[in-house]
Structure 1
Amino acid sequence: MEKSYKEYLPQIDTFIFDVDGVLTNGIVTVFPDGQLLRQMNIKDGYALKAAVKAGYRVCIISGGKNEGVRTRLEGLGITDIYLGAHNKIKQFNELIEKHKLNPENVMYMGDDIPDYPVMKLVGMPSCPNDAAREIQQISKYISDKTGGNGCARDIIEQVLRVQGKWDSNFDAQYD
């Protein structure tokens, strides 16, 4: 019998997220000068910051290159941010080596084919409910939230609650 996704939550010590389609809804507004505008959910932001404050490693591996995204994520306390990552395995391996991580203790949330190779290597591959079919098929957890609409908050809150670290973050300063 296959394990329930809840059985993986106690072992998670690292969160890795894609950006477009996970921390955003995957829709970009293209301005005449070529700039791309993305929207991020404030509740996802609170949860990311709470996870950092609680001592979890929170990492970003994204094919996008928007420096505004980097600024936003750095403001939440995230230090391992890889943008312009088209071969996500390379950045994943760097993270594993740099921080001596056990892939079994990693939750990776992705939504599309570029996330697939890394998701096959982690202990808890996860996705928003509007992820590509192939991603859903390999995910141990599919959020009931869509990308950019609280899916990151959903999985972070579940992990922190199971590990007894959610309530202790209510005093986290957030801006």
Structure 2
Amino acid sequence: MEKSYKEYLKHITTFIFDVDGVLTDGRVTIDSHGELLRTMNVKDGYAMKTALLQGYNLCIISGGTNEGVRNRLAALGITDIFLGAHHKIHQFKEYVEKYTIQPENVLYMGDDIPDIPVMKKVGLPTCPQDAVAEVREVSNYISFKNGGDGAVRDVIEQVLKVQGKWMRDFDAKKA
């Protein structure tokens, strides 16, 4: 009998996310200078920053090369950002070796074919609701949210809640 994805949540120490289709809705707007513009959800950003502050590892592996994406993610405190990654398994292996992370403690969220090799190596492969069929087939959890619409927040919040770290340092009396 296959384990429920919820059984993996308590062992997650590391989050790895794709960008296009996960942190964004997968659409790009092209401005008059040919620059590709993306939109990210601030609730995903809040969850990523919270995970970092709670001591989780967080890494981005994307095929995209937009430096604006790097700047946005770096502003949240993310230091491990791999852009231009066409064979994501290489960056994944480099990252887990660098920090001595066990793959079974990794939650990876992807949405398209290039994500599958990494998804097959991690403890908890996940995807947004609108991921392609092939990715949905290898995912242990499919978010009820689409990419760019809170799917990242969904998985981070679930892990932190199970581990007793969601809103741990929030004091409603000070708000």
Bin of the TM-score, shorter chain as denominator length: over 0.9
Normalised by the size of structure 2, how large is the TM-score?
0.96
Q: CA deviation at 1:32?
A: 2.5
Q: CA deviation at 1:170?
A: 3.1
Aligned length: 171
Separation in 2 of the partners of 1:87 and 1:42?
28
Q: Which runs of 5+ in 1 are unaligned?
A: none
Q: CA deviation at 1:169?
A: 4.3
Amino acid at match of 2:108: Y
Q: CA deviation at 1:2?
A: 1.3
Query: 1:13 corresponds to which residue?
Result: 13
Separation in 2 of the partners of 1:16 and 1:120?
13
String of CA shifts for 1:43-87, please: whole Å, max 9, x gaps: 000000000000000000000001011010011110100001001
Equivalences for residues 51-130 of structure 1 within 5 A: 51-130=51-130
Separation in 2 of the partners of 1:31 and 1:117?
33
1:8–1:124 Cα contact (<8 Å) kept: yes
Q: Which runs of 5+ in 2 are unaligned?
A: none
Separation in 1 of the partners of 2:96 and 2:39?
29
1:50–1:169 Cα contact (<8 Å) kept: no
1:28–1:36 Cα contact (<8 Å) kept: yes
Separation in 1 of the partners of 2:155 and 2:95?
20
